[in-house]
Amino acid sequence: MNKAINVSTEDLRRTDAAHHLHPFTDFAALAKEGSRVITKADGCWLWDSDGNRYLDGMAGLWCIQVGYGRREIADAVHRQMLELPYYNTFFKTTHPPAVALSEKLAELTPAGLDHAFFANSGSEANDTIMRMVRYYWARAGKPDKQVIIGRTYGYHGSTIAASAMGGMTAMHGQAGMIPGVHHVTPPHWFDFGRPMGMSPDEFGVHAARELEKAIDEIGEDKIGAFIAEPIQGSGGVLVPPATYWPEVKRILAERDILFIADEVICGFGRTGEWFGSQYYDLKPDFMTIAKGLSSGYLPISAVMVGERVLEHLVGEGGEFFHGFTYSGHPASCAAALANIDILEREKLVDRVKTVAGPALQKAWAALGDHPLVGEARMVGLFGALELVPDKSDLSKRFAPVGEVGTLCREFSFRNGLVMRATRDAMIISPPLVISEEEIGYLAEKARKSLDQTYEALKAQGKVA
Ligand code: PXG
């Protein structure tokens, strides 16, 4: 029996601080403060070790599409564990769950993306893509096409290649940068377009042309690929203006560059379509999928590889020296298949488009009238609220950046709702199964958290 089970919260916190290094954490600060201990979950709800209940407005980490406590997934994994708990997919070997999942993914993803390379995380999948891009161009006789263009505030993972392609400067500053990666302006009108006095539509074209400018300056003969999330998630649910993707599509169509759609957050129904690429009618050469692929029940990711890339990857023969011990892990594949079965059977993607999405969007838009909210945006079932000190003058933002977002996030936790803060934007991305009653709870607790944040800031003289 694990020693950590059935011990007090205080003991758990002490032991956690003594031995556990958490991701993206100030270790010293957390050791002083103590971790929040989550002990169980069901549907859209989490419980902590003190018995407090929270509505999980973040679907874990943007991944629990079908909600917690799905026996079908646990049973499928259990059966698979007894039948074949592990075998590798190296050395000309395969197994039924990997075969079934790759076939299913070929069916679900947009036409032309019919082959899956399995990994265990979004980061590994994106690292895989970087290698595939360079391999592709070397075999296509253009080995100089090495540069990958990403975007500021993009998030593609935490391994060195993935963090370099991402646009989080704090990560680059900690050895997360490698040569051959370039970043352009993201289509985030509120922070980038509005201060320049542009309308969202003008800015959408402008941001797209930043990509065009970068390609022309660096040289098309040096650029291997452009990587982008259809809607940037971790960056703050940055919903591009309507003009952005059509202009990017024009630019890519006129140039010989591969396009990578990172669908780790947008995929599996988040936008109301199976994939963000369908929402924006994009035609990627690679698609990164993870998170919602298994609803986070077990780690698994995949690179969906398009026809054009296959021509060199498969067509000419020769070994691609890349893979992971757990590529296509049988239990993870079984979890993903059971998860996809639930998504299909319960028509959860359609539900985002027709029921849950419209209800949450309406409740979210209503929060736009709050004195702290400068913008409320949402697509499908994920969105953000930009917190501002003075609604009548949106040029002002809080300083230091992130403090007010963190304050609001803490109020939200205390109110029984998990929201995430990105800089000073409050983010929501709940499980696709969220009920209308739970949407009402979410909106009520979000408003209460905004009110409490506003009162606290008023007391400090930080709001108008
Ligand atoms: N691409 C995207 C678009 C992501 O959002 C990754 C790749 C990397 O996936 P892995 O499985 O390697 O973590 C992600 C991950 C947050 C947060 O707080 C977001 C992610 C991971 C951890 C925290 O927003 N997204």
Whether 117 and 184 share a structural domain: yes
What's the predicted TM-score (pTM) here? Answer: 0.97
What are the CA-CA distances from residue 464 to residues 194, 458, 461 (Å)? 20, 8, 8
Residues with Cβ within 8 Å of 58's Cβ and at least 6 positions away in sequence, in order, are: 418, 419, 420, 427, 428, 429, 430
Q: What is the pLDDT of residue 5?
A: 59
Ligand 1 atom with the smallest distance to the CA of 233 is 5
Residue 331, in any domain of the structure: yes
Q: How many residues comprise the chain?
A: 464
Give per-residue pLDDT as tens, 109-157: 999 999 999 999 999 999 999 999 999 999 999 999 999 999 999 999 9
* Both tokens assigned to 133: 């891009």
Whether 337 and 396 share a structural domain: no
Ligand 1 centroid from CA 156, angstroms: 6
Residues with Cβ within 8 Å of 340's Cβ and at least 6 positions away in sequence, in order, are: 104, 108, 293
Among 314, 345, 376, residue at a domain's last position = 345
Among 326, 345, 364, residue at a domain's last position = 345
Whether 47 and 128 share a structural domain: no
Whether 443 and 399 share a structural domain: yes
CA distance 464 to 458: 8
Ligand 1, atom 9: nearest CA belongs to which residue?
Answer: 122
- The number of domains in the chain is 2
Q: What is the pLDDT of residue 317?
A: 79
Give the domain CATH number at 325. Answer: 3.40.640.10
Residues with Cβ within 8 Å of 244's Cβ and at least 6 positions away in sequence, in order, are: 187, 204, 205, 207, 208
Whether 62 and 99 share a structural domain: no
Whether 317 and 365 share a structural domain: no
Ligand 1 centroid from CA 74, angstroms: 24
CA distance 434 to 43: 8
Ligand 1, atom 15: nearest CA belongs to which residue?
Answer: 157
Residue 112: which domain range? 71-345
Ligand 1 atom with the smallest distance to the CA of 291 is 11
Whether 247 and 358 share a structural domain: no
CA distance 9 to 41: 17
Identify the bridge partners of residue 53 per DSSP, sorted by sequence position.
47
Ligand 1 centroid from CA 208, angstroms: 24
Residue 247, in any domain of the structure: yes
Among 345, 370, 401, residue at a domain's last position = 345
Work out whether strand 53-56 and strand 417-418 pair parallel, antiparallel, or are unpaired. Answer: parallel
Out of 65, 153, 265, give the residue to mutate to test ligand 1, the one with the largest number of ligand atoms within 8 Å of its CB.
265
Whether 210 and 142 share a structural domain: yes
Out of 24, 56, 229, 264, give the residue to mutate to test ligand 1, the one with the largest number of ligand atoms within 8 Å of its CB.
264
Whether 376 and 330 share a structural domain: no
What are the CA-CA distances from residue 315 to residues 63, 68, 117, 197 (Å)? 35, 42, 16, 50
Out of 64, 124, 234, give the residue to mutate to test ligand 1, the one with the largest number of ligand atoms within 8 Å of its CB.
234
Q: What is the pLDDT of residue 200?
A: 98
Angle CA(207)–CA(233)–CA(423) in degrees, nearest 5?
Answer: 85
Whether 58 and 82 share a structural domain: no
Q: What is the pLDDT of residue 1?
A: 43
> Which residues approach ligand 1 with their CB closer than 6 A?
61, 121-123, 126, 155-158, 229, 233-234, 262, 264-265, 290, 420
CA distance 423 to 339: 32
Q: What is the pLDDT of residue 131?
A: 96
Whether 175 and 311 share a structural domain: yes
Q: Are 262 and 156 in contact (CB under 8 A)?
A: yes
Residue 3, in any domain of the structure: no
Ligand 1 centroid from CA 452, angstroms: 29
Ligand 1 centroid from CA 155, angstroms: 7
CA distance 294 to 73: 9
Ligand 1, atom 19: nearest CA belongs to which residue?
Answer: 234
Residue 25, in any domain of the structure: no
Q: What is the pLDDT of residue 4?
A: 53
Ligand 1 atom with the smallest distance to the CA of 427 is 24
Ligand 1 centroid from CA 8, angstroms: 31
φ, ψ of residue 453 in degrees (nearest 5): -65, -45
φ, ψ of residue 256 in degrees (nearest 5): -95, 80
Give the domain CATH number at 430. Answer: 3.90.1150.10
Angle CA(349)–CA(354)–CA(355) in degrees, nearest 5?
Answer: 95
Residue 140, in any domain of the structure: yes
Ligand 1 centroid from CA 315, angstroms: 32
Ligand 1 centroid from CA 426, angstroms: 17
Whether 341 and 365 share a structural domain: no
Q: Are 434 and 356 in contact (CB under 8 A)?
A: yes
Residue 20, in any domain of the structure: no
Question: Which parts of the chain register pLDDT below 50?
Answer: 1
Ligand 1 centroid from CA 157, angstroms: 5
Ligand 1, atom 3: nearest CA belongs to which residue?
Answer: 264
Residue 397, in any domain of the structure: yes
Residue 23, in any domain of the structure: no
